[in-house]
Amino acid sequence: MGAQEYVGTELELFAEARRWKAYFSRRIRPFLDPRVLEIGAGLGSTTAVLAPGDRQEWLCLEPDPKLLARISEKIACGELPTFCRTQSGTISAMDEAFKFDTILYIDVLEHILDDRDELARAAERLAEGGHLVVLAPASPRLFSPFDAAVGHYRRYTRKSLEGLAPVHLRVARSEYLDAFGYLMSLANARCLRRPVPTRRQIQFWDKTIVPLSLAFDPLTGRRFGRSILCVWERVA
């Protein structure tokens, strides 16, 4: 697959959702090992949250040349660590000889038509003991015109996402995040029916709803939420 240009504005809309990024980062950070491959790195805003620290390698893979250029600029000016580097394209074009300790799909897998094949390719590039991390939109009942407009093919349940597991991988963590965000999205779908969230809505969600979820999610056993996190470990 050649160069692609990203369609949609949610990268800009969600780039400033600092509390949300801090929340899911805490759930992911235990699975970040020295050699990281971030699929669909976008604007590099997630990279900025997850990458700080000592890393042997952090590769930002991005098919959109405009977004890739912005990540490169951030590395050059010091907004992203110097151990980060960029590569254009998708995982299907990468040499299978290169192995990574962690492969990340942060709000990316839902944009890929054949998600099962995508994860199988990722597993081939995962070192033994390494982790494949997916954060994606949850609950098909929340699928909205906004999802369709920004190129989402689906939203996941725990069962449907875990069911994509490639061979030689076992589930290390599977949970829903942002229970109050789920309730807010459900209310929007049934009452407000806005196809695209406004910046004010995003700010309200990040400043008010996410902190509520941060406190409430453990009480629910993380059994429902607006997003789903699944982490697999390669065992052979």
Contact by Cβ (8 Å): 179, 216: yes
Tokens representing 223?
Answer: 């059994």
Q: Which residue spans within the chain are E strands per DSSP?
A: 35-39, 57-62, 84-88, 100-106, 126-137, 169-177, 227-234
Q: How confident is the model at residue 196 (pLDDT cuts 50, 70, 90)?
A: low
pLDDT, residue 4, reads 46
202 pLDDT higher than 60: yes
End-to-end CA distance of the chain: 29
Q: How confident is the model at residue 6 (pLDDT cuts 50, 70, 90)?
A: very low
Q: 84: alpha, beta or left, given left = phi > 0 and alpha = psi -120 to 50?
A: beta
Residue extents of the structural domains in the chain: 10-234
110 pLDDT higher than 70: yes
What is the pTM for the complete model shown? 0.92
From the candidate CATH numbers 1.10.645.10, 1.10.580.10, 3.40.50.150, 3.10.50.40, the one assigned to the domain spanning 10-234: 3.40.50.150
Residue 147 vs residues 24, 36, 197: alpha-carbon distances, Å: 20, 28, 11
pLDDT, residue 192, reads 46
| Secondary structure tally for the chain: helices H, strands E | 10, 7
220 pLDDT higher than 90: yes
Sheet holding 126-137, edge to edge: 84-88, 57-62, 35-39, 100-106, 126-137, 227-234, 169-177
